[in-house]
Amino acid sequence: MKDTLKRASAVASALLPDALIAGGAAAVSYGAHLIYSPAGYIVGGLLCLVAGRLIAIKGGE
């Protein structure tokens, strides 16, 4: 049981930064949407482009 919890904790700690980044990007996009509706889609698209670029760079290492 302890080994399982340790493995689950390791996986959760590895995924936490990505989850926080995705949540922050969603919050920024939604905030822009509340100000001006099309801006939310534009900001969301830009954040997706940046995330895709960072993943591509990270995958090339």
Tokens of 50: 């940046």
- pLDDT value at position 60? 59
Percentage with pLDDT > 70 across the chain: 97
* 10/13 Cα distance (integer angstroms): 5
Give me the mean pLDDT over the 14-42 stretch.
91
4-17: b (≥16 Cβ within 10 Å) or e: eeeeeeeeeeeeee
pLDDT interval class at 34 (50, 70, 90): very high
* 59/45 Cα distance (integer angstroms): 21
pLDDT interval class at 9 (50, 70, 90): confident
What single DSSP character describes residue 60? T
* 34/32 Cα distance (integer angstroms): 5
